[in-house]
Amino acid sequence: MRDRFPTPALLAALLAGAAHGAEPALRPGEARTLTLSSTGKAELELAVTPGSAYVVEVTERGLDVRVELGDAARSLRGFDGDILRRGHFRIAAAGADRKPPRLAIAGTRPGSPDGQVQVALAAQPTDDAGAAARFALDLLETDTAQRYYDATLAKQPESVEQARRLVVGRRDSGPPRDLGRAHLLLDQLLMKQLRYDEAIAALEQSLPVFRALGDSSRTHYPRERWRREVSWSRAVMR
């Protein structure tokens, strides 16, 4: 008979899922903080006008998550560079469908402490040249991230060249956080193509960017990754 009733842990998970499912739609210009467990999930409906262009941002606060945006038939996954518990995702989309898009956020490291994520939604203005330039880079980053997560596209040289264009664009426009993420996307695409020397060089170029951010954990991450990739490249070349 006991098997017919949910365990306390399962009941807690169901209640948590129901609570997140009841979240009201997120509107442009709004930011919201969600608390999640290391295996928790949350979904948010985005209240954007059909046909509009928009950017959704997710910032980790002590919790590693996977972020995915579903808009019509598209599924767009966010990239944060795998920075532990302090990552930042920025996903851009244009031509929103009549059905409201939905953002899915899920914890990825079972056993880790609970944490929070901040979610923000911004509509793309139509009369701001500077905002349009940054949005073009956001679209480029979003597309490059999809190439990174696609096993076939990730191995194509064009994916690396696209990431290099993103680095150049982020260097000329936008905050250092976006530039640092572009460097890490380039590095990880190079690693997938086994281009170790170029990957190490990409990380070396990113270190001043992370130092400028004033975040010791972000500076530490590229340096540790640089050490690992030096070891990998030496092992491969033996």
**Torsion angle in degrees (nearest 10) through CA of 214, 220, 222, 225:** -170
Q: Could you tell me the pTM of the whole model?
A: 0.81
pLDDT score at 178 = 93
Angle, CA 179 vertex, CA 87 and CA 114 arms, to 5°: 5
- DSSP code of residue 37: -
| Domain final residue, candidates 124, 148, 171 | 124
Q: Percentage of the chain with pLDDT > 70?
A: 80
In this predicted structure, what is the pLDDT of residue 157?
A: 97
Confidence label for 236 from pLDDT (cuts 50, 70 and 90): very low
Q: What is the DSSP string of 84-134?
A: TTT-EEEEEE-S--SSPPEEEEEE-STTSPPEEEEEEEEEPPSS-HHHHHH
Does residue 3 share a domain with residue 120?
yes
pLDDT at position 207 over 50? yes
Rounded to an integer, the average pLDDT of 20-41 is 89
118 and 28 in a common domain: yes
pLDDT at res. 156: 97
Q: What is the mean pLDDT of residues 24-32?
A: 96
d(CA 200, CA 204): 6
**Residue 142 vs residues 83, 112, 146, 215: alpha-carbon distances, Å:** 18, 28, 6, 24
User: What does the pLDDT look like over 129-183, one tens digit per residue?
Assistant: 888 999 999 999 999 999 999 999 999 999 999 999 999 999 988 788 899 999 9
Note whether 1 and 65 are same-domain residues.
Answer: yes
Contact 40, 23 (CB under 8 A): no
- Please, which pLDDT band fits residue 11 given cuts at 50, 70 and 90? very low
* Mean pLDDT, all residues of the chain: 84
Q: Are residues 149 and 105 in the same domain?
A: no
Residues 40-64, mean pLDDT to the nearest whole number: 94
Give the residue among 61, 60, 37 at the shortest CA–CA distance from 111: 37
Q: Residue 37's pLDDT band (boundaries 50, 70, 90)?
A: very high
> What pLDDT, on a 0 to 100 scale, did the predictor assign at position 8?
54
- CATH number, position 18: 2.60.120.380
**Final residue of a domain: which of 124, 143, 164?**
124
Q: Identify the pLDDT of residue 228.
A: 56
Domain check: are 153 and 229 in the same one? yes
Both tokens of residue 231? Answer: 């070891």
Q: Which two tokens stand for residue 151?
A: 């096993």
Indicate if 2 and 103 belong to the same structural domain.
yes
Please check whether residues 113 and 140 belong to one and the same domain: no
Residues 3 and 76 both lie in one domain: yes
- What does the pLDDT look like over 53-72, one tens digit per residue? 999 999 999 999 999 999 87
| pLDDT at position 225 | 56
The strand order across the sheet containing 54-61 reads 31-36, 115-123, 54-61, 88-93
Which of 82-91, 184-193, 213-222 is predicted with the least confidence, judged by mean pLDDT? 213-222
Q: State whether 223 and 205 are in the same domain.
A: yes
Same domain for 100 and 51?
yes
Mean pLDDT, residues 192-214: 86
- What pLDDT is attached to residue 215? 56
| Domain that residue 146 falls in | 126-238
Beta strands in the chain (DSSP E): 31-36, 41-45, 54-61, 65-71, 74-77, 88-93, 102-107, 115-123
> Averaged over 227-235, what is the pLDDT?
51
Verify that 104 and 44 share a domain, yes or no: yes
